Amino acid sequence: MTSIAFIGLGNMGGPMAANLVKAGHSVQGFDLVPASREAAAAEGVASAASAVEAVAGAEIVVTMLPAGKHVRAVWAEIVPAAEPGALLVDCSTIDVESARAAHELAAGRGLKSLDAPVSGGTVGAKGATLTFMVGGAEDAFRAGEPVLARMGRRVVHCGGAGAGQAAKICNNMILGITMIGISEAFVLGEKLGLSHQALFDVASTSSGSCWALTTHCPVPGPVPASAANHGYKPGFATDLMLKDLTLSQEAARSAGATTPLGARAAELYRTFQEGGHGGEDYSAIVTYLRGLAS
């Protein structure tokens, strides 16, 4: 049994902390929102009165927060309060620069740290089937891997500090660009009189096949579980896709990479979100592209 502090008990953090309890660990949690603390307490997560209180006695500290500014603020509080020898793991999706700043804070006190963003959404968080993309030193990875494995199905060590966040935003940039490509193909197919099923049957078994098409097909019919058959209820919300595409473009700018399709995908998703669709699944972008024709 490991003593774990879990800070940020929202849609993802709540069920992740609950899975650590189910795995037999002692978990002490904190969230600013009392309702999140209460929901986690019902799953066996002991409620702390503050982030600093939560980390007292913890061998591993996990944070699951909205954005880089929250991680920087919380880590500034908890690093000085953490036990000597503790491992700090941030699972939020944040900018690479903030992730590296968090690692530096921990290193300043001689603490091990990992950035370990996830893929798999709330379904993966509940079912402990997340994929963790991990950045940090080898010894920190060895210390964190067994605990991350209780919250997910795959734990990949991507490299040094920030490499987990880098892998996450590169992967999601592929996903955003791909979904727009798939959606454009269906919209063109509609104009050419092609049925959704015919295009799906060909593309899913030909060179156009990819995970987004076969899992998140943006038109109703071919993939019964896809959001298109359920009123585009997320799934993976447009707001989160836009967040990740925006992070990819910030990273591209600061690293001096040119990502013209990533930039265009971010623009299209931003326009879609500004039209009031941020809460719809990211595959609903097909409805926006269809509308451009008229």
- Taking CB under 6 A as the criterion, the residue among 57, 66, 221, 224 binding ligand NAD is 66
Separation in Å, CA 66 to CA 12, 31, 204, 282: 10, 12, 35, 19
Verify binding: residue 7, ligand NAD, rule CB under 6 A.
Answer: yes
Closest chain position to ligand NAD (CB): 10
Verify binding: residue 41, ligand NAD, rule CB under 6 A.
Answer: no
Verify binding: residue 54, ligand NAD, rule CB under 6 A.
Answer: no
The span from the CA of 54 to the CA of 102, in Å, is: 18
- Taking CB under 6 A as the criterion, the residue among 4, 82, 118, 182 binding ligand NAD is 118
- Taking CB under 6 A as the criterion, the residue among 64, 147, 151, 266 binding ligand NAD is 64
Q: Is 210 helix (H, G, I), strand (E, B) or coil?
A: coil
Verify binding: residue 13, ligand NAD, rule CB under 6 A.
Answer: yes
User: What's at 69, amino acid-wise?
Assistant: K
Nearer to ligand NAD, 8 or 152 (CB): 8
Q: Which stretch binds ligand NAD (CB under 6 A): 25-33, 108-116, 209-217, 225-233?
A: 25-33
CB of 64 to ligand NAD, least distance (A): 5
Verify binding: residue 51, ligand NAD, rule CB under 6 A.
Answer: yes
Whose tokens are 């992740």? That residue is 16
Active centre residues (catalytic)? 168
Six token digits for residue 143? 């210390």
Verify binding: residue 10, ligand NAD, rule CB under 6 A.
Answer: yes
Q: Which stretch binds ligand NAD (CB under 6 A): 62-70, 157-165, 189-197, 276-284?
A: 62-70
Verify binding: residue 157, ligand NAD, rule CB under 6 A.
Answer: no
The span from the CA of 130 to the CA of 158, in Å, is: 16
Binding positions for ligand NAD, 67-86, rule CB under 6 A: 70, 73-74
Verify binding: residue 156, ligand NAD, rule CB under 6 A.
Answer: no
Contact 65, 71 (CB under 8 A): yes
For ligand NAD, how many residues bind (rule: CB under 6 A)?
26
Q: What string marks each residue from 193 to 232 as x (binds ligand NAD by CB under 6 A) or -? A: ----------------------------------------
The span from the CA of 260 to the CA of 10, in Å, is: 34
The span from the CA of 280 to the CA of 283, in Å, is: 8
The span from the CA of 24 to the CA of 114, in Å, is: 22
Residue 5: its H or E element: strand 3-7
Q: What secondary structure does DSSP assign to 75-105, as a single string?
A: HHHHHHHSPTT-EEEE-S---HHHHHHHHHH
Verify binding: residue 92, ligand NAD, rule CB under 6 A.
Answer: yes
Q: Which stretch binds ligand NAD (CB under 6 A): 10-18, 82-90, 179-187, 220-228?
A: 10-18
Q: What secondary structure does DSSP assign to 126-178, as a single string?
A: HHT-EEEEEES-HHHHHHHHHHHTTTEEEEEEEESTTHHHHHHHHHHHHHHHH
Verify binding: residue 36, ligand NAD, rule CB under 6 A.
Answer: yes
CB of 56 to ligand NAD, least distance (A): 15
Six token digits for residue 144? 């964190």
Q: Contact positions toward ligand NAD, by CB under 6 A?
A: 7-13, 30-33, 36, 51, 64-66, 70, 73-74, 92-93, 118, 121-122, 240, 243
